Structure 1
């Protein structure tokens, strides 16, 4: 506050119309503090908005992860046949993998002759012995 008043008294020499009063200096100091507070509040508002965006994205990712199917069947490049059966959420599942039910996954592994993913081992999870 003392530094503000000192800065304000230097302005007195520029404005020679009338001498500055203590009240003038206090009003000047209030305007400076008000301006600084407004800048700090704007900064806090940006931080809050950024954190709200991060939290919303985290919630979207969590919801998407929870909505993932339990089993995936990955189609071949030509789209006709299947190449792998995966446990839902397997990192080895490609973009051609589609959700499947338990019965579908069991049937694909037993009757369909589709290979189980070597990473997530859906045959072990399903209890299918080769």
Structure 2
């Protein structure tokens, strides 16, 4: 036959050994399919709903890393520059301390600091 042992004991041993490996392979296939399914679902969730923009940002100087201007989160005027997300309270404090407000998105008006 195919280089199989002729006696029954060794044939049963081979059968058991191969059954064990088939079970391990089946478990590995199930785990890989589950990982693939979860990765696909995660990718679909990310593609379906982009994260909302942060509520408040400050433009940061390229070299000195100091705040330059406060922006509403969706402002695109500093989209190409460095920026940092800040809380509403921090944005209010920075504006109150004299940091410049973006003239396009007007965060000072959004925060109710203009009279």
In the TM superposition, 1:27-46 aligns within 5 A as: none
User: Which structure shows the bigger proportion of residues in helix conformation?
Assistant: 1
Cα root mean square deviation, aligned: 2.2
- Whether 1:120 and 2:105 are equivalent positions in the alignment is yes
- The answer for the alignment partner of 1:63 in structure 2 is 50
Question: Based on CA coordinates, which of the two structures has the bigger radius of gyration?
Answer: 1
Deviation by residue 1:38-90 (Cα, 9 ceiling, x = unmatched): xxxxxxxxxxxxxxxxx94741xx332x2x21000111122332111000011
Query: Which stretches in structure 2 are left out of the alignment for 5+ residues?
Result: 1-42
Asked if 1:97 corresponds to 2:83, the answer is yes
TM-score, normalising length: structure 2: 0.54
Superposed structure 1 runs of 4+ greater than 6 Å apart: none
The number of aligned residues is 72
TM-score of the superposition, structure 1-length normalised?
A: 0.48
Alpha-carbon separation, structure 2, partners of 1:99 and 1:79: 17
Identify which of structures 1 and 2 has the higher relative contact order when contacts are C-alpha pairs closer than 8 Å and 6+ apart: 2
